[in-house]
Amino acid sequence: MEKQEVKKDQEPIISIKGLYKSFGDKDVLKDINLEISKGENMVVLGRSGSGKSVLIKILVGLLSFDKGTVKVFGKEVDKLSGKDLDALRLRIGFSFQNSALYDSMNVRQNLEFPLTMNKKDVNKGEVKKAVEEVLEAVGLKEKINEMPGDLSGGQRKRIGIARTLILKPEIMLYDEPTSGLDPITSEEINKLINDVQKKYNTTSIIITHDLTCAKETGSRVAMLLDGKFEKIGKFDEVFDPKSSHKDNKEIKSFFDYNFIQ
């Protein structure tokens, strides 16, 4: 699947250096280093419990860390005031694994809610236009009056992404975007992630254990093993049978388990 070419900026949008995070005696992240450029889709791959979700929670200031530097838009996240942290989060969209839709609201109301809550100066016409725009972006304009319970799993994922896009974030964080979906619907979500990157020029982190998702959406892939990035590069570099398969049995077993053809 075609992915947008990334142009390197002088300063990365996200910069992580020497990051450590432990919970009690358990070391979850150990000397994590990563830079992400504007417009890049960075995939963080790893098994459940490997620290993927911990990493993105640290990025938005939901978790503290023990050591290191985490910069987003050139600002150190752990040094931001509460007000500045709120402002940062408005520039970051989080697409949750379970879509996080309100079951008591229809699609239109789910999309209107974050916009009216965070931007008090928008009028009804602007809200209507924004809702229609993001629904068109995810290909579900006809579902505007449906209730979440009447949507398929793939449609819920799409509406969840639309609700995130309505605030026009500069960074998108996708948490297991294809989890629980059949292969055809997963392919549609992978295409949507790439379409969002092109249309909105977002910088994205895609947390997944799905190799097909990683291969089709990632500008680069970072393989997280035992709290460290074992390898970072394009998909074919990380899973090169002449190197990583030979040198690292864990990468090989992860690849083999996913049955990529």
Asked if 70 and 197 sit in the same domain, the reply is yes
Question: CA gyration radius for the chain?
Answer: 19
Asked if 145 and 177 sit in the same domain, the reply is no
Give the pLDDT confidence score for residue 53 in this predicted structure.
Answer: 87
CATH number at residue 204: 3.40.50.300
Q: Where does a domain end: 117, 137, 168?
A: 168
Asked if 86 and 132 sit in the same domain, the reply is no
Give the pLDDT confidence score for residue 257 in this predicted structure.
Answer: 58
Give the pLDDT confidence score for residue 47 in this predicted structure.
Answer: 79
* Type and span of the H or E element at 59: helix 52-59
Asked if 164 and 183 sit in the same domain, the reply is no
Asked if 85 and 174 sit in the same domain, the reply is yes
Spatial distance between the Cα atoms of 13 and 102, rounded to a whole number of angstroms: 31
pTM of the predicted model as reported, rounded to 2 decimal places: 0.87
Do 180 and 191 contact (CB within 8 A), yes or no?
no
Could you give phi then psi for residue 28, rounded to 5 degrees? -95, -45
Residue ranges in the chain whose pLDDT is less than 70: 1-10, 241-250, 252-261
Domain tally for the chain? 2
The range of the structural domain enclosing residue 112 comes to 104-168
Q: Where does a domain end: 168, 200, 223?
A: 168
Per the domain annotation, does 99 fall within a domain? no
Q: Are strands 92-95 and 75-76 parallel, antiparallel or unpaired?
A: unpaired
Do 207 and 52 contact (CB within 8 A), yes or no?
yes
Give the pLDDT confidence score for residue 166 in this predicted structure.
Answer: 94
Give the pLDDT confidence score for residue 98 in this predicted structure.
Answer: 73
